[in-house]
Amino acid sequence: MRSILVYIFGLGLLIVLFRILKKPLGWAARFLISCALGAVGIFAFNLIFAKAGVYLPINPFNALTIGVFGIPGFVILWVLASII
């Protein structure tokens, strides 16, 4: 009987933790997906514009910038890469 109560308590604790962490975990997953899409966007850009001599390095900062800001972030990185 005691082990059944422990299992029920543990299951209830897991449900409560899942409900508490559901929103932050969703934000983190969305953040990681946008960063991965940013890296894919940089890769596609480098493939398309390789012959023109325009190149953006794929690194976590660039992927994060493009993932969070989208097209404006891409333009910012492109301008910075052409200035530097």
Tell me what pLDDT residue 43 has. Answer: 92
**66 in Cβ contact with 38 (< 8 Å):** yes
User: What pLDDT, in 10s, does the model give residues 2-56?
Assistant: 778 888 888 888 888 888 877 777 888 888 898 898 899 889 989 998 888 888 8
Tell me what pLDDT residue 47 has. Answer: 92
Q: What is the mean pLDDT of residues 62-70?
A: 87
Tell me what pLDDT residue 12 has. Answer: 85
DSSP-derived secondary structure for the chain:
-HHHHHHHHHHHHHHHHHHHHHHHHHHHHHHHHHHHHHHHHHHHHHHHTTTTT------HHHHHHHHHH-HHHHHHHHHHHHH-
Place of tokens 């390095």: 57
**54 in Cβ contact with 80 (< 8 Å):** no
- Closest listed residue to residue 75, CA positions, set 45, 40, 48: 45
pTM of the model: 0.68
Q: What is the mean pLDDT of residues 62-81?
A: 87
